[in-house]
Amino acid sequence: MSLRGFLSEMEKRGEVVHVAESVSPRFEVSKLAMEFDWGPILFFENVEGRRVAVNVCGSRDRICLALKTSRRDLHRRLISSMHSLKPPEVVKSAPSQEEIEKPDLGGIPILTHFEKDGGPYITSGVIYARSPKLGVENVSIHRLQVLDDSTLAIRLVPRHLYKLWTTHKMEKKDLEVSISVGVHPAVHLAAASSPPFGVNEFHIANSLLAGGLKLVKCLKVDAYAPAEAELIIEGVISWEKEALEGPLVDILGTYDVQRMQPIVEVKAITHRKNYIYQAIVPSSVEHRLLMGLPREALIWEAVSKVVPEVYGVRLTVAGGGWLHAVISIRKQREGDGKNALLAALAAHPSLKHAVVVDEDIDVHDSEAVEWAIATRFQADRDLIVVKNVRGSTLDPSSDQERVLTSKVGVDATKPIDKPKEKFELAKIPSTGRVEKLIESLRRHIRP
């Protein structure tokens, strides 16, 4: 149930490519990772003397392998884990605490990703915090900018961790946290999910791992972390100290703005022997999948409540894995498509454009989706526009100060009052002899 265990499985499947040459954490790792986006896991053997893995969750199929599920059942699996919580076992000793170091971030191969980034950033850190006053534990992923060898700036979006921090801030108390780097994909997916406030995402991860997740208590702070994490940074989020954070490229591939953000004071660093530093390159396919998949699951659950069956949900790559969705449904009556659109827009507040198609359209085939819009959609009848609603702070075209946007829903399902034959693609019958000839030609004709 560790990153190492998953990497070992992927090695056997030929999903890992090793890079033996010395590579710099400043631009070079991220450049190579983006050149092979959608490709294999890249395992760098020598990044300032350390090992670095990127693109671990860079394909939907690898994530399915990590969760031991299929593409068809992926969303159902994620939702069921949120409703069937399993508290992990807490152990007294752990591989993640095999070695203890002084608070020196300079010894970690933290990447600088893009030309105008504010500095090196930890982008894969799974952050645990708890509030004894509220009786709440939270696990989430937040970007962390290195300010110096013992200080980070943390981007706190106004969600659950922000609420814990503000509770402590009102009492003039620092918030103790653990930052875990190098974890199983199930832990990342759980940390990126959005369950109700008060749900401990480690319980979701343990459900995804069939009870196999183990936690360990930190040495210097009141926090817990995965026992098999590669590296754990223990620290406190200051209630009063802030620093200018950013810029950093976010999921859309554009630079997010600079803001004053709280700082994290590092108290201790523990890690496994010869640890593997795991990085997620901002705006990569891996970034989009880890952020988007839990939202796809929420859309799937919401739409499933208003239509007979949901066949597929995809947050598109060109939409940053965040702003654009395609949903495939089985339509029984007129209005199902629009109900599905409204449910999707409500389930994922950052969603900007949504397209609903019939079950014969593959949501992963962008050309098929566009064809459905071309042949099944009429703007005066099938278009929904919602103005001045909450959107995403990442959308540069929106009102970013008030976080307001306009949203569009496209109902590209077949109208029920017309014969279905009008909307079917024409087919050419196949014979065995022709199929053999096709295979022969494919071997000689380059795509």
List the single range of 134-148, 198-212, 288-302, 426-440 with lowest mean pLDDT: 426-440
d(C-alpha 141, C-alpha 238), whole Å? 18
Helices (H), 220-313: 285-304
DSSP secondary structure of 164-191: HHHHHHHTT-PEEEEEEES--HHHHHHH
Query: What's the distance, CA 381 to chain centroid?
Result: 35
List the single range of 75-84, 239-248, 266-275, 392-401 with lowest mean pLDDT: 392-401
d(C-alpha 20, C-alpha 27), whole Å? 17
Tell whether the model's pLDDT for residue 29 goes beyond 90.
yes
Residue 140 lies in a domain: no
Which CATH number goes with the domain that contains 393? 3.40.1670.10
- Residue ranges making up the domain that contains 377: 286-423
- What is the pLDDT averaged over residues 183-195? 96
Tell me the residue type at 444.
H
Residue 100 lies in a domain: no
Helices (H), 148-284: 160-170, 185-191, 201-208
In total, the chain counts a number of residues equal to 447
Q: CA torsion sign, 410 to 284 to 193 to 198?
A: negative
Residue 110 lies in a domain: no
Residue 327 lies in a domain: yes
Residue 224 lies in a domain: no
- DSSP 8-state class, residue 258: P
Per-residue confidence (pLDDT) for residue 9, from 0 to 100:
97
Model confidence, pTM: 0.91
Instruction: Render pLDDT for 303-330 as a digit per residue (tens, 0 to 9).
Output: 999 999 999 999 998 899 999 999 999 9
Per-residue confidence (pLDDT) for residue 433, from 0 to 100:
84
Q: Can you list the positions of beta strands (E) in 182-258?
A: 214-217, 224-226, 231-245, 248-249, 255-256
Rg (CA), the chain: 23
Backbone angles phi, psi at 22, to 5 degrees: -70, 130
Write the Ramachandran bin of 182: left for phi over 0, alpha for psi from -120 to 50, otherwise beta. Answer: left
**Domains contained in the chain, number:** 1
Closest CA to 267 of 199, 174, 360, 205: 174
Tell whether the model's pLDDT for residue 447 goes beyond 60.
no
d(C-alpha 229, C-alpha 222), whole Å? 17
Residue 300 lies in a domain: yes
Per-residue confidence (pLDDT) for residue 446, from 0 to 100:
64
Residue 154 lies in a domain: no
Instruction: Render pLDDT for 413-427 as a digit per residue (tens, 0 to 9).
Output: 999 988 888 898 888
- DSSP 8-state class, residue 421: G
Structure tokens at 207: 């459900």
d(C-alpha 178, C-alpha 266), whole Å? 10
Are the beta carbons of 77 and 208 closer than 8 angstroms? Answer: yes
The total of other beta-carbon atoms located within 10 Å of residue 86's CB is 18
Per-residue confidence (pLDDT) for residue 436, from 0 to 100:
84
Q: CA torsion sign, 373 to 379 to 383 to 386?
A: positive
- Looking up tokens 């953000």 gives 261
Instruction: Render pLDDT for 85-126 as a digit per residue (tens, 0 to 9).
Output: 999 999 999 999 999 988 999 999 999 999 999 999 999 999
Per-residue confidence (pLDDT) for residue 444, from 0 to 100:
82
Are the beta carbons of 121 and 153 closer than 8 angstroms? Answer: no
d(C-alpha 72, C-alpha 52), whole Å? 32
> In whole numbers, what is the pLDDT of the chain averaged over residues?
94
Instruction: Render pLDDT for 285-299 as a digit per residue (tens, 0 to 9).
Output: 999 999 999 999 999
Contacts of 247 (CB under 8 A, 6+ apart): 116, 117, 118, 255, 256, 257, 258
Known catalytic residues?
250
Per the DSSP assignment, residues forming a β-bridge with 216 are: 91, 225
Q: Is 388 exposed, middle or buried (0-12, 13-18, 19+ CB in 10 A)?
A: exposed
Structure tokens at 226: 């995965």
Percent share of the chain, pLDDT over 90: 84
- What is the pLDDT averaged over residues 168-173? 96
Per-residue confidence (pLDDT) for residue 420, from 0 to 100:
85
How far, in Å, are 156, 224, 256, 360, 435 from residue 429 at the CA level? Answer: 58, 61, 52, 19, 11
Are the beta carbons of 220 and 234 closer than 8 angstroms? Answer: yes
Per-residue confidence (pLDDT) for residue 428, from 0 to 100:
87
- What is the pLDDT averaged over residues 23-38? 95
Residue 149 lies in a domain: no
